Every structure is written in structure tokens, then in C-alpha cells.
A and B are shown apart, each in its own frame.
Chain A
Amino acid sequence: MTGQPSEINLEQLLRELTPQVLGIVVRRFRDFAAAEDAVQEASIAAALQWPRDGLPESPRAWLIQVASRRMADYIRSESARRNRESAVLMESEQAAPSIPARESDVDDTLILLFMCCHPALTLSSAIALTLRAVGGLTTPEIAHAFLVPEATMAQRISRAKQTIKSSGIPFEMPTDAERGERLRAVLHVLYLIFNEGYTTTSGPQLRRADLSHEAMRLARIVHNLQMGDPEIAGLLALMLLTDARRMARTTAEGELIPLAQQDRSLWDRKQIEEGVALVSATLPKGSVGPYQLQAAIAAVHDEAPRAEDTDWPQILALYDLLRRMSDNPMVELNRAIAFAMVHGPAKGLELLDALKDDARLAEHHRLDAVRAHLLEMAGEHAGAIDHYRSAAEKTGSLPERNYLLARASRLSSDSG
């Protein structure tokens, strides 16, 4: 025993060790679903015992041992059950997958990520399972982060594991042919976890910010695996550069502050430097993708000392590249803003007209919100008020609704 771990360090340590320990236990016992439960139980036991008894000599070996003991208990009780149903025994013995000899921890973490983010899973299941099996979060922590009952989250995780089992998704590296596409799925899940954390109010829900940090930690792990895909660095940079503005995004009461009005001295310089360095090192490598471009756009914003110093022509050029890579109407909307900043609001509004028949935007508040902003820029206050209000009717976000209604109200008191 080597001393008392502090609560924070212990949590970090357990989270780091989770995928390593899980990889080993899955290899030893060939049952991902049961191994995942066993490792979670071992982690919970560690969180109770280590602060009391001190850190074991090798925390990792301790976890492997405890998880393996749980697995042995589970197998004993299962085989007792199977002896009563011997026909089932035969079948499951045949179905037991063969898993190649142990690879490195690095590979195991990656294999786990590929498995948890498999396209056969629904996104909400993939998110939950990734946070638990790779991130080492407990089910109550994940449930709390997503504001759902613990039983609901437990069920989501168990369904995800059931899907893995029934689809026969193997515990192994995807083939070279599949790897690119499967990596996209992993990055998308990490992006959604980050977004979930970033898009929450401050105040009582502040804890949810943990999700952003968790997503950044996982993105960093993938980045450190050096798989040679520049989109990984792009995603990590995007997270760093976006999260850097967290403290400036809202008032103490949780009201939204738009980019142009944020107090830039509150931005996290260290995170910006790291993000900018990542993008600058990655972009010249050639194979440019959407995450790198979004990161580059975030970097241009973050590097402007004042809003009026923003290099909008460069942002527009980046959106021009981005729209060629993705068929996403949100990109078109953001490009229209950049276009308006460079060529004037009238030109931006013309671009919006072309988007008005896009069915994907018809019910979306962003089209109205952007139109309202551009109309306000153009001095057409009556039209801006109408569109702020119709955007407020459509948004699902309470702080955003308040913000949009406040813009409308400010304009109507100015003009009347």
C-alpha cells in the first residue's frame, strides 16, 4: 500500500485504467458484456477501498484480479444454470468467439472504442457505452450527465451490450478496408459527447461540463495512439478551441453571450495555444477534413484580439472548403454569415433565400435566427424582429429562446 489517494486523483486513475483492465479481462474470459460489468464492479470496489486502505502496489493488477474474481463467480453461477439447461451449454460453447492472444493496452483501448461506437448501435447507446467502457464513468454519473433516471441509462447500456452480442461484433481491430469509416463513427460519438457537455446551461447543471472534458480526454487518448489520421487532431483541436471560450459564453445567471460580445480576456489562452498549434501542424499534411476545417475556423475567431479584428475573408474561404466536403445545411447557414461579414448583409440574405426550400431547415430555428441577425445588420428592424420571434418559437433551448426574445424586444423598443 502506497499512501492515500486524493479523491480527484483516484477518479482519474480509475478512469485511465478502465479500458486497459477491461481489454485484459475481455481477452481472458471472452465475454465483453460480462467483463464490462465485472470491471465496473471492480472500479466501484476500488473507489470504496483505496481511500480507506491506501493505494495498492499495482492498482492495475488489483483491478484485474478483482474483476477476474467476479468473472469466475459469474461463470460458476452461469455454468450451474447451464447444467440445468445442458442444450444451451452446447450451443454457447460453440458460439464462444476465439480471441487472439493479448495485444498492447493501446490496441485494446482502440478496439474497445471501435466496438462501443459500432454503427450497429444507436447513437445514444454508443455514447453511453463509450463513456462507461472506455471512459470509466459509472452508470449513475452518465445518467446524471444526461438527466435521465439511472435505470434508464443502465438499460441503454445493457441494450448496447446485447446488440454487440447478437450482431456478433468481434473484439478485434477492424480490417484496413473498414478502418477509415469506423474511425469516423468513433470521432462522431466523441464529438456528440463533447457537444452534449458544451450545450448545457451553467448553474445547477454545471456538472454536465464534465462531459466536454471527458470527450477531450478520450479524443486525446485517440490522438496519442498516432493512427496517422489528421481528422483526429482536427477534432481534438476543435474541442480545445471551442471549450476555450466556455467561461465567456454565459453570464453568471446562465444568459447566453454571443461571440462578438464576449469578454475575450476570459478565454483560456493555454487551450487556444494548444489548439492552434495542433491545427497548424495538421493542416499542411494534406488530407484535410471537416473537423480540421471547423477547428481552423474556431482558431481564426480565437486569435482575433477583438471581434472587429476577426479575419472574416479567411473564415469565408474555410467555409468554402468545408461546404465541398459535407452536405450539411448548417454549414451553408454559417457560410452565409461569413459571406455577409465580408460582402455585406444584403449578399448574405441572398444566400439565405436559396436555402429556404431545404426541407432539413424548414423547422429549424437557425435559419430564422441567422436571417434576423442579417436583417438587423442591414438596418431592417421590423423584419429582424419578426424573424427573431419566429426563431424563438422554434428553438428547443431555453437560454437561446430568452436571448432571441431579448434581441427582438431591444429592437422594438429602439424603433418604437
Chain B
Amino acid sequence: MKYILMMNGTKSDWESFAKWSKQDLDANTAFMRAFNKQLKDEGVFVATEGLGWPAQAKVVRSGRDGTPITDGIFPESKEFLAGYWIIDVETPEQAYRIAARASAAPGPGGKPGSMPIEVREVMSGFSDLGL
């Protein structure tokens, strides 16, 4: 079963992230690098990406003749995807355990954070035979 683990942050999360010390940023990057390697070594890694700053994000809608209409978005309350992992595991519990490890990534002062990680199943082909 494949799951996507998503890191989301609000505007204030992103803004405070921008003020982290170099040391804190380095610790976080080192953690992410090690975490990705662990997922690969464990044979569960499918994909991971980090996303650009939400200030650059646009919402696009189709105009009357199909031309794109773009809007900037950065309201206070909205959560933005910061990055994700896709993993292939045997049970949802295994996905939750891995998400908890990602959640503990070090924050300011190098202390383990408890960043919320949203876990969603990636849809597959047919379901099982039912037995």
C-alpha cells in the first residue's frame, strides 16, 4: 500500500521558518537527508519532493475561452504543502510510525519538533479479492 506523507504549514509557520538560524536550518537539512536515506535503506521509499515558497503560489482557473486566470494566494489561515514523501508499506500503522519519525524533525534550537504530518492513502488499482 502506498501512502503520501504531507508536511503542511500556515503562513506564520513559513514566516518563522524564514527566521531560523543557520545552525537550525543545517540541523533540519541533515535530518531530512538522513531520513530519506533511511527510507531508501528500509526499502519503502517511492518519492519525495520539497515545494517552493507559497508566496510564489498561484491559483489558476480556466477563463471563458480556456485562457488561464491566475490569482496570488496567501491568506493567514490557509495551510500550504511544504513537501511530501510517498512510501510503499504493508500496513497503515507502518505509515503512521514513519510519519511520526518525520514529525520529530528538529526545529528551532535543534529541539525535536512535532510538525503535523498528514497521511493519506494513494489510490491503487482494484482492491483485493475479498478473502
CA distance A169 to B36 in the complex (A): 30
The answer to whether A153 and B43 have CB atoms under 8 Å apart is: yes
The answer to whether B44 and A152 have CB atoms under 8 Å apart is: yes
A14 CB to closest chain B CB, in angstroms? 25
Minimal Cβ-Cβ distance residue in B for A122: B90
CA distance A205 to B126 in the complex (A): 11
Of A123, A294, A366, A396, the contact of B121 (CB 8 Å cutoff): A396
Count contacts on B: residues with CB < 8 A to the other chain. 22
CA distance A159 to B131 in the complex (A): 29
Chain B residues with Cβ under 8 A from A201's Cβ?
A: 125-126
Of A152, A242, A334, A396, the contact of B40 (CB 8 Å cutoff): A152
Of A178-186, A214-222, A325-333, the one touching chain B: A325-333
The answer to whether B125 and A152 have CB atoms under 8 Å apart is: no
Minimal Cβ-Cβ distance residue in A for B129: A195
A207 CB to closest chain B CB, in angstroms? 12
The answer to whether A151 and B40 have CB atoms under 8 Å apart is: yes
Minimal Cβ-Cβ distance residue in B for A151: B40
| Size class of the contact patch on chain A | 35 or more
The answer to whether B128 and A124 have CB atoms under 8 Å apart is: no
Residues 92-144 of A at the B interface (beta carbon under 8 Å)? 122-125
Of B43, B44, B125, B129, the contact of A242 (CB 8 Å cutoff): B129
Chain B residues with Cβ under 8 A from A328's Cβ?
A: 131
The answer to whether B125 and A398 have CB atoms under 8 Å apart is: yes
Q: Does B41 contact A (CB under 8 A)?
A: yes
B94 CB to closest chain A CB, in angstroms? 9
Interface centre among B1, B44, B47, B128 (most CB of A within 10 A): B128
The answer to whether A397 and B130 have CB atoms under 8 Å apart is: no
Chain B residues with Cβ under 8 A from A346's Cβ?
A: none
Residues 3-57 of B at the A interface (beta carbon under 8 Å)? 40-47
Given A328-B131, A398-B125, A149-B90 contact (CB < 8 Å)? no
CA distance A198 to B121 in the complex (A): 20
B50 CB to closest chain A CB, in angstroms? 18
The answer to whether A331 and B131 have CB atoms under 8 Å apart is: yes
Chain B residues with Cβ under 8 A from A195's Cβ?
A: 128-129
The answer to whether B127 and A400 have CB atoms under 8 Å apart is: yes
What would be 27 A-B contacts, judged by CB atoms less than 8 Å apart? A122-B90, A123-B90, A124-B43, A125-B43, A148-B88, A149-B46, A151-B40, A152-B43, A152-B46, A153-B43, A155-B42, A198-B129, A200-B125, A200-B126, A201-B126, A294-B131, A328-B131, A330-B131, A334-B131, A396-B121, A397-B123, A397-B124, A397-B127, A398-B123, A398-B124, A399-B125, A400-B127
Q: Which A residues form the contact surface with B (CB < 8 A)?
A: 122-125, 146-149, 151-153, 155-156, 159, 195, 198-201, 205, 208, 242, 256, 294, 328, 330-331, 333-334, 365-366, 395-401
